[in-house]
Structure 1
Amino acid sequence: KFIKITGYVNSDPSFKDHPKVINGASDLLLEIFGEKGRHTRVAIGVSSLPLDSVVEIDFLCEVH
């Protein structure tokens, strides 16, 4: 079960659509896992990420 995802978007300071970028991860989890893919989330804009990545996603999951 996915509890929460945090998405970091490497972007220009003028960019304001961080949640739209992270929608792709949320949609994919729901498509693959159905109801177990439901989660809360946070989308954060940053000025850089390791290895010049564009997006970094952190998952908090519960495993039984």
Structure 2
Amino acid sequence: MIPMSELFTRYSTWVVTALMGVAAYWLQLPIEEQQALIAAYPWLKHAAPVLGLLAFLGARGAKQ
């Protein structure tokens, strides 16, 4: 049985990894496609800066 403390660590690691993947995908999209997606889904206007920050922090934390 996995202890509760380890379960949270593992779960949060997978969540952060998934968010980093989404952030990296968003940043590699051409500007025109990003703008089209933001027009289709207005809530992305607020999520885009967060995704950019996550991608930046992930790139900064990655081993060089």
Structure number with the higher helix fraction is 2
TM-score (norm 1): 0.27
Structure number with the higher strand fraction is 1
**RCO higher in 1 or 2 (8 Å CA, sep ≥ 6)?**
1
Which has the greater radius of gyration? 2
